[in-house]
Structure 1
Amino acid sequence: MKRASGSTLAPATFEALARVRRTLREQATAPAISQPAPKKPKPAEDGAMLFRRAVADATPLPPSNRAGRTHPRPKPVARQRLRDEQQVMVDALADPWDYEAAVSTGEELFFSRPGVPTAAVRKLRRGSWVIKGELDLHGHTGDEARVALAAFLNRCMLEDRRCVRIIHGKGHGSKNRLPVLKNKVRHWLIQREDVLAFCQARSVDGGAGAVIVLLKSSSRQQKQKGTA
């Protein structure tokens, strides 16, 4: 077979060209394949959302119906100390006063409750008892001295101090230089049932400005209450 151009092609060549033409035609008429759209990044989850998701299965506790505490809890107070303070206040309410006893001078301070052994009183006068405590009432008013004395004796009974010294002064700084506080102390001590005896201190222990007091044994008193 001859072409106008004068060139001659083999039949196989025409078949190859025909196949290429068909392929191009099929590609031109074939529908375009859609490409998937790119995925958008997920927004980051905040902390509150993550927390709610984590505790979704938790069961809330019932309300306690209690107000929030805004002040620290006060420290506990010993009951015995409260009783002692109440006793001090009771002792400080009544203060009968003997004016004649207050102005009397030159009298030795001495008292012994009935039933106290003579040997115990003799030891007290000689200073044979060991002094276990001391209270100085210098600078106190009458009311202050009474409260301080009651508190001191209560504490001595709790601690089983049998013999104590109370310094009341000689009254040189008081009005008319009278031993007012000295006589008040004597009157207060006589009213106390736990006071067995008292006497003026020796010169080495304060002389006329102090008094030595013998108290009941608190341990013996408790044993007596237990057997009663």
Structure 2
Amino acid sequence: MTGRRRRVVSEAELALWTKVVESVKPMPGRRRAKAEPQPAAAPPEVPASEKPQAAPKRSSPPPKAATPVAPKPPPLAPLEPRMRRRLARGVVAVDARIDLHGLRQDEAHRRLASFLLGAQAGGARVVLVITGKGRPSAEGTLFGEERGVLRRSVPLWLSSPAARQVVIGYEEADPVHGGGGALYVRIRKAASKR
């Protein structure tokens, strides 16, 4: 077993280390260490006949272009408590409202997306989305109480990355505006085109 050869520090590395040592303040009770140059050891001479042949260079594949990472959608934020109280008391009016009662899921999704974009373009701050509470299932509770497909789906749609460009946040409406069957939705300001 052969011993590990010690690496020889180049003059450039030694100069860099000296600058680093000069810029560091020693701990209390310690002295600054001086960088001492190491004698450069000459590599052993190897006869030309024993030198290894250079391996043929392989052409490496071109570096892969970094795949563009989609920007992370902004996080959702609930209404401020003061705004919620003012909405419940009627001090601040809801800017717009949409009622999705009786619509199929695909139709409700299209109308909601169109409504939110229109509300954003119109400068609305808070809108009311009425989903309805849904009917209790008549079959019993074999799979649990099933209530309101739209009531469950609309929050998922509002949380989607596509909707986050329009929606700041949402939460269940106050009983004055429909309670569990409606949502207050905060609308993001439209990006100004310059």
Larger helix proportion of the pair: 1
**Higher Cα Rg: structure 1 or 2?**
1
